[in-house]
Amino acid sequence: MENVILIHGGVGSDRSLSPDLDKICAGINLRRSPLEAVVEAVAAMEDDRRFNAGTGSYPRIDGSIQMDAGVMYQGNFGSVIGLERTRNPIKVALSVMQDSPHNVLSGDGAIAFARSKGFEDYDPGTPETREKWEKMMDQLRSGALEDNPKTMQFIRKVNINSILKYDTVGAVARIDGKFAAAVSTGGSWPMLRGRVGDVPIIGSGFYAGENGAVVATGIGEEIMKRILCFRVYNRIGNEPLQQILKEEIDYFGDVTVGLIAVTEDEYGSYANKQMATGILKSEINI
């Protein structure tokens, strides 16, 4: 059996980024706990402004940056929703799990908790994301919504492919027979302030238990409806993992979705668009 960590840069991320994700994995110590491994990997992707998580997160329509993250290990989980002006939301989610009596903190409460744990004020925006936001707002002001504020109406009327940021980043790990999952995002575009996707929702954006770990990426509203990660987890052991991932994603049709997962003796990834991934494996007790 191998210890393994598998990470992704979001469905839609260019596969040319995979070698960089491999480098992140290469820096992970697979003799530590899987929880430490996935949090360290996701934090590294949060610090890379090319990904839509942590630094480089995409602004919402009002210009604010609200970030979501979640982590799960050994039946415990923690997540943050709408976290602002804080570096490495995944580390705050970990602290929620380990240092608070709660599973989920949101908004001002999440920010106050982060400050109480020593996370300093930090602007995750970058010149690149601000430029993209201004470009999108110019299109909004030009009448693209036609007095209809619904997000999907906007998506149907405006070609956003050239300015859409990559989606969620995530990691799953199996170390010494134990599993962990971690996930982080700046959200999707366009989105209203307060919008919550699948990322911080247990069973939707992430799940880990005694049989494996699963992380999703894609259109959060649709992933939540299907409770995607828990569905995949519940099928572990019934069919080959790659078959499970493909069947669950094929259900979504044209809706953009991706998955990574590890089980006791398998690991795999599948997406209906390109998706950068990284991996590190090592034999146990070497």
* Dist CA 62 CA 54 (whole Å): 18
- Phi and psi dihedrals of 55, rounded to 5? -65, 125
Active-site choice (168, 185, 217, 256): 168
Residue ranges in the chain assigned as alpha helix (H): 18-26, 34-46, 89-99, 107-116, 127-139, 151-157, 220-226, 228-235, 241-250
pLDDT per residue rounded down to tens, the chain (286 residues): 799 999 999 999 999 999 999 999 999 999 999 999 999 999 999 999 999 999 999 898 888 999 999 999 999 999 999 999 999 999 999 999 999 999 999 999 999 999 999 999 999 998 888 887 787 777 666 665 455 455 545 545 444 444 444 579 999 999 999 999 999 999 877 788 999 999 999 999 999 999 999 999 999 999 999 999 999 999 999 999 999 999 999 999 999 999 999 999 999 999 999 999 999 999 765 4
For residue 168, indicate whether it is catalytic. Answer: yes
* Dist CA 150 CA 153 (whole Å): 5
Q: For tokens 């995607």, what's the residue?
A: 228
Q: Give 227's contacts (C-beta < 8 A, 6+ positions apart).
A: 203, 204
For residue 144, the model assigns a pLDDT of 54
CATH numbers and ranges of domains, the chain: 2-126+162-283 (3.60.20.30)
* Dist CA 11 CA 31 (whole Å): 29
* Dist CA 277 CA 18 (whole Å): 5
**CB of 106 closer than 8 Å to CB of 80:** yes
* Dist CA 229 CA 203 (whole Å): 5
How does pLDDT run across 62-85, given as a tens digit for each residue?
Answer: 889 999 999 999 999 999 999 999
